[in-house]
Structure 1
Amino acid sequence: MSDSKNLRLHFPQWQGGDNEAYYFGSQLLSYIAPPTNGLVETVDVPKPDGSAQVEEGGLKGRSQIIKQAKQAQQLIDKHQPDSIVVLGGDCLVDLAPFAYLNKKYDGQLGVLWVDAHPDILTPEQYNHAHAMVMGNLMGFGDEQFTALVERPIATENVLYAGLGKTLDFETDFIKEHQLDFIGPETLNQSSAQVIEWIKAKGIKKLAIHFDLDVMSTADFGSLYFAEPNVPADKFDGLTQGAMQFAAVQQLICDVASVTDVVGLGITEYLPWDAMRLQNMLKQFPLLNR
């Protein structure tokens, strides 16, 4: 597919995960990504300033998040691209792009959600909107967010890859809606089951959501769960990713060989060492002027 019909959307949203580090991660991801000769747009996300987010209707930063999603919609609609790459930011950045792609491809879009978490919670369970996005894309959850999805993604066209242990609410939701999933242990060995799913479903157009926290912190350090100098019990009870770096790379490349990938969202990159070094340099003579 020609880059001229591809939109690269830089979307440094951090409010959905209520973590200012997502902003820097998105900036760095945009820098290290391969160059493009296609379309490039940036969603206007206010730079974090250390101020606490206001909780509105059960969600941190609700009004800002909705505003940013609508701006993303406008940027996408302006270009009417055939494909979209999203460089985030927290997971919520894929809401507007994937909703657009499903509408463009007449409700036939397949979604490969490469993530340790299903992202189907609602404000009743959690006050961070990045944990809601896949539910919203399927038409479930908070009305302000589902209103941004003109044509919900069919549940039978969604596959979770690398999904870890789920909460009771998530387990019940997945069972009720008969959502397909494949665990990290299987995918660390082979992509075959994902390829079989794509072929069995007849998926011709596919969007891939890649939350970096699907990977194990033993194999990749720029993840939420690898944050340095935090209390030892900070992540107790939270599901952590278990996929190997090489297995994720192989999975996405294998998928691209059997179907037309029209969406790729890369999210939740947290380059802790780069941020530590940046903060160090701010203190140095001649650099701190």
Structure 2
Amino acid sequence: MNISTDKTLRLIFPQWQGGNNPAYQFGAQLLSWLAPEASGPVAEVNVASPLSAPLENEEGIIGRAALRAQLASAQQLLQSHNPDAVVVLGGDCLVSLAPFAWLSEKYRDKLGVLWIDTHPDVMTPEQFENAHAHVLGALMGNGDPDLTAAVTLPLSAEKIMIAGIHHPSAYEADFIRQHGINTCSPAEVNSGAEAVISWMESQNIEYLAIHLDLDVLDPAAFRSVLFARPGRNDNDFGGAAEGKLLISDVLSLTTQVAKKSPVVGLTIAEHLPWDAANLKSMLSQLPLLGTGAKQ
């Protein structure tokens, strides 16, 4: 099957509530500006402003109502455009839920999901209140009903490969082991990603969806990720694993897998351009330019 550009939907999804971090919204907007011009349809999910009411924990999930509304909006856009392929520019990691559920239903057992991420995103509200850490588990049919309800055909574990993962939490490691999810360490990615290619061949992956969480990148080399937040302390992120890959590693991996199977899904998530965001804030307050212009 050839993927036509006019049947490839570019979905701008500036969701920030899943990570409870307003900077994700600006990150998605900047990704949209940076990306090459689309040759097919473009749609944007309506996302509530960070200036609206503060988020609260709603039955175990921060911002549940907003996330539920935005999920429904994304589903409606997918149904309206009926794409063969989807590019998602996010936003926090939860933006992959509706598009990948759509692709799972469309391509069924022919679809494989390559999750390029330092973290497996298989938690539930019992472990973590921010839903961006729940998304892959929900795509497998595990977790909160408001998320799993969006998945008509859950992904089977053997059709999933998590690349770039290291030092998962005890819960995550146990989930991966119990479900038999394939993983590929940063070192394995660096050495040629043979484990990923072998997985694709053994599972007869005919179509591939790729989720790229930018925090798989080393924050010392790529500064627009959560762990590169200016002024951070060593214990600010609770010991969560930090990315070890370079952009060249990710490009090598995606180039190799795209030669094996057509890519029908691509999400770019968790873009946090700290310097640009701080500069944007400064510009809005300078004399003759922002609020200072009224003085």
TM bin (shorter chain): over 0.9
Of 139, 142, 150, the residue aligned with 1:140 is: 142
Q: In 1, Cα distance between the equivalents of 2:10 and 2:107?
A: 19
**Displacement of 1:52:** 2.7
Per-residue CA deviations over 1:60-89 (Å, capped at 9, x if unaligned) read: 000110110111000000111000000000
Structure 1 residues 51 and 225: CA distance shift in structure 2, 3 A: farther
TM-score by length of 1: 0.97
Q: Which residue of 2 aligns with 1:24?
A: 26
Task: Answer yes or no: is 1:94 the counterpart of 2:103.
Answer: no
Q: SS at 1:257's partner residue?
A: helix
**Amino acid in structure 1 at the alignment position of 2:143:** G
Q: Which residue of 2 aligns with 1:118?
A: 120
Which one is further off, 174-183 or 103-112? 103-112
Of 50, 64, 67, the residue aligned with 2:66 is: 64
Of 244, 250, 259, the residue aligned with 1:257 is: 259
Q: Which residue of 1 aligns with 2:221?
A: 219
Q: In 2, Cα distance between the equivalents of 1:114 and 1:31?
A: 23
Q: In 1, Cα distance between the equivalents of 2:202 and 2:265?
A: 20
Of 41, 54, 57, the residue aligned with 2:56 is: 54
Of 165, 168, 190, the residue aligned with 1:166 is: 168
Instruction: Answer yes or no: is the 8 Å Cα contact 1:107–1:151 preserved in 2.
Output: no
Of 190, 199, 212, the residue aligned with 1:210 is: 212
Q: Which residue of 1 aligns with 2:286?
A: 284
Which one is further off, 162-171 or 131-140? 162-171
Instruction: Answer yes or no: is the 8 Å Cα contact 1:188–1:244 preserved in 2.
Output: no
Q: In 2, Cα distance between the equivalents of 1:247 and 1:278?
A: 30
**Displacement of 1:285:** 1.5
Task: Answer yes or no: is 1:179 the counterpart of 2:196.
Answer: no
Q: In 2, Cα distance between the equivalents of 1:44 and 1:77?
A: 15
Aligned residue pairs, count: 289
**Displacement of 1:50:** 7.2
**Amino acid in structure 2 at the alignment position of 1:17:** G
Unaligned runs of 5+ in 2: none
Q: Which residue of 2 aligns with 1:239?
A: 241
Instruction: Answer yes or no: is the 8 Å Cα contact 2:110–2:204 preserved in 1.
Output: no
**Displacement of 1:282:** 1.4
Q: Which residue of 2 aligns with 1:128?
A: 130
Of 10, 15, 22, the residue aligned with 1:8 is: 10
Per-residue CA deviations over 1:115-152 (Å, capped at 9, x if unaligned) read: 00000000001100000000000011111111110110
Instruction: Answer yes or no: is the 8 Å Cα contact 1:189–1:247 preserved in 2.
Output: no
Identity score, percent: 47
Which one is further off, 54-63 or 230-239? 230-239
Q: Which residue of 2 aligns with 1:149?
A: 151
Q: In 2, Cα distance between the equivalents of 1:120 and 1:191?
A: 23
Q: In 1, Cα distance between the equivalents of 2:89 and 2:74?
A: 12
TM-score by length of 2: 0.95
Q: Which residue of 2 aligns with 1:228?
A: 230
**Amino acid in structure 2 at the alignment position of 1:120:** V
**Displacement of 1:230:** 3.1
**Amino acid in structure 1 at the alignment position of 2:268:** I
Q: In 2, Cα distance between the equivalents of 1:50 and 1:74?
A: 23
**Displacement of 1:228:** 0.2
Of 186, 196, 199, the residue aligned with 1:197 is: 199
**Amino acid in structure 1 at the alignment position of 2:69:** K
Unaligned runs of 5+ in 1: none
**Displacement of 1:233:** 2.4
**Displacement of 1:32:** 0.3
**Amino acid in structure 1 at the alignment position of 2:24:** Y
Q: In 2, Cα distance between the equivalents of 1:232 and 1:202?
A: 43
